[in-house]
């Protein structure tokens, strides 16, 4: 997948930008606060319709404007040009068109224009609670598997309904009606996560070994809230937990409480990894995401690197450049090039107050 051009209107601090990309290595160069990350954010929206910086669309439309619009022109891996049009307000409907046809369901679009973002914000995946890790995993698996997306939607709906019934003290019979659906989706989510995480972990291990010249081994470990072998098993668990769930007004057990752990040298990276090691771990995770999507979708994702290379030590920086997939189009940002004498390998845009000038 290649992004050939982007027209952007009223997005964050960008009034109007029209950019054409000729190369596979594109660098947005400029001081902080000028709009470099905003452009990466806009590129990522084409595939997932969500920002990698925040939840929701609040703040993405330029101040004082009612709507933002963007038009993307891609070249897919079969050599065909594809067009994406996206228009949205801070609150309210999004208008999405692909090749001139309106797309009304997110599930029809996820995975069509994949992009993987590497950002310093990824530290939260190690340091924060399980909610961010689940959100990352759900987006990755939803983008690569319509089956996963459908089960996730079904589970979320059934969970919301059961929680509402618990709050209004519904009967066991009323609860059971939603528990049947909840259990069906829960068991399938557990199974799909159980098979996906070891594959992601293998790729992370390879990338991290390369980043560290094979001096340290890292991996991921699935930490499910429950091991779910059958719908009957989960239905029995829900029945057993109903008295406590009624008191709490929510469903306390299930895949919505799952987690996965980063391990370094077989120890929990949250506790034992240094800041430099954690930087390496999240970069390795994002590279694992790239390779997982490429395999699952038979498409080459874009790579969006938001000011991450300059934060690495010399060894990891040199090894990371070697790890960048040569087949991927890479968009990177920084206040300077990651190292000296790199300007020749990048198609560079100078960024100043929301304007982009080819250097």
270-315: per-residue pLDDT in tens?
Answer: 999 988 889 889 999 999 999 999 999 999 999 999 987 666 666 6
The pLDDT value given to residue 341: 77
pLDDT of residue 169: 93
The tokens describing 113, both together, are 């224009």
CATH of the domain at 341: 3.40.50.300
120: in domain: no
pLDDT digits (tens, 9 = 90+) for 124-164: 899 989 999 999 999 999 999 999 999 999 999 999 999 99
Final residue belonging to a domain, choices 297, 332, 351: 297
Shared-domain flag, residues 5 and 15: yes
pLDDT at res. 194: 98
Residues 224-273: tens digit of each pLDDT:
999 999 999 999 999 999 999 999 999 999 999 999 999 999 999 999 99
Task: Please tell me the predicted confidence (pLDDT) of residue 279.
Answer: 86
What does the pLDDT read at residue 212? 83
State whether 246 and 156 are in the same domain.
yes
**How many domains does the structure of the chain reveal?**
2
Average pLDDT of the chain, as a whole number? 93
- SS3 of 293, please? helix
In a domain, 119, yes or no: no
Phi/psi at 313 (5° precision): -70, 170
% the chain with pLDDT above 90? 80
Structure tokens at 307: 């000011």
More confident residue, 343 or 92: 343
pLDDT of residue 211: 84
Contact predicate 153/189, CB 8 Å: no
Within this chain, do residues 165 and 290 fall inside the same structural domain, yes or no?
yes
Shared domain for 242 and 263, answered yes or no, is yes
The tokens describing 287, both together, are: 């590279």
Where does the pLDDT of residue 319 fall: very low under 50, low under 70, confident under 90, or very high at 90 and above? low
Shared-domain flag, residues 203 and 292: yes
* One domain for residues 270 and 146: yes
Please list, in sequence order, all residues whose beta carbon lies within 8 angstroms of the beta carbon of residue 189, skipping any fewer than 6 positions away: 148, 151, 152, 155, 255
Among 243, 270, 297, which residue terminates a domain?
297
pLDDT attached to residue 247: 96
Helix-strand-coil split of the chain, %, nearest 5 = 45, 25, 30
Question: For the purposes of burial, counting CB atoms within 10 Å of the CB of 172, is it exposed (0-12), middle (13-18) or buried (19 or more)?
Answer: exposed
Burial of 129 (0-12, 13-18, 19+ CB in 10 A): exposed
- Give me Rg for the CA atoms of the chain: 22
> Within this chain, do residues 260 and 132 fall inside the same structural domain, yes or no?
yes
Residues 135 and 252 in one domain: yes
pLDDT at site 123: 86
pLDDT, tens digit (0-9, with 9 covering 90-100), for 326-340: 899 999 999 988 777
Cα separation, 134 vs 223, whole angstroms:
11
**Cα angle 248-249-254, degrees, rounded to a multiple of 5:** 85
Which of 297, 321, 339 is at the close of a domain? 297
Domain extent for 223 = 126-297
Of 83, 106, 82, whose CA–CA distance to 94 is shortest? 106
Structure tokens at 161: 């309904």
Q: Is residue 70 part of a domain?
A: yes
Using CA atoms in the order 312, 280, 2, 110, what is the torsion angle rounded to 10 degrees? Answer: -140
Question: What confidence score (pLDDT) does residue 317 get?
Answer: 66
88, 94 contact by CB (below 8 A): yes
């Amino acid at each position: 997948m290649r992004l050939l051009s982007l027209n952007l209107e009223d997005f964050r601090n960008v009034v109007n930008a029209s950019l054409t990309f000729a190369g596979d290595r594109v660098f947005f160069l400029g001081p902080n606060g000028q709009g470099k990350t905003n452009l990466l954010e806009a590129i990522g929206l084409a595939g997932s319709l969500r920002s990698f910086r925040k939840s929701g669309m609040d703040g993405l439309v330029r101040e004082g404007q009612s709507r933002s619009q963007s038009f993307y022109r891609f070249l897919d891996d079969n050599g065909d040009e594809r067009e994406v049009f996206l228009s949205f307000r801070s609150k309210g409907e999004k208008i999405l068109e692909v090749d001139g046809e309106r797309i009304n369901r997110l599930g029809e679009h996820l995975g069509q224009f994949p992009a993987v973002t590497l950002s310093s914000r990824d530290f939260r995946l190690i340091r924060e609670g399980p909610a961010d890790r689940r959100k990352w995993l759900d987006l990755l698996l939803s983008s690569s598997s319509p089956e996963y997306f459908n089960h996730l939607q079904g589970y979320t709906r059934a969970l919301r309904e059961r929680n509402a019934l618990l709050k209004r003290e519904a009967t066991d019979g009323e609860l059971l009606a939603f528990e049947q659906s909840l259990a069906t989706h829960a068991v399938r989510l557990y199974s799909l996560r159980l098979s996906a995480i070891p594959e992601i972990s293998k790729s992370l291990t390879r990338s991290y070994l390369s980043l560290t010249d094979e001096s340290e081994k890292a991996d991921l470990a699935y930490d499910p809230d429950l091991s779910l072998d059958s719908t009957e098993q989960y239905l029995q668990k829900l029945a057993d937990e109903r008295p406590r769930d009624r008191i709490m007004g929510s469903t306390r057990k299930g895949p919505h409480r799952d987690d996965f752990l980063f391990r370094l040298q077989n120890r929990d990276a949250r506790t034992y990894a240094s800041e430099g090691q954690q930087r390496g771990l999240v970069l390795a995770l994002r590279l694992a995401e790239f390779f997982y999507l490429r395999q699952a979708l038979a498409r080459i994702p874009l790579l969006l690197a938001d000011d991450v290379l300059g934060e690495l030590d010399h060894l990891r920086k040199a090894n990371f450049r070697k790890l960048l997939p040569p087949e991927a189009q890479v968009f990177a940002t920084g206040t300077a090039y990651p190292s000296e004498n790199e300007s020749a390998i990048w198609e560079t845009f100078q960024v100043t107050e929301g304007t982009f000038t080819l250097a």
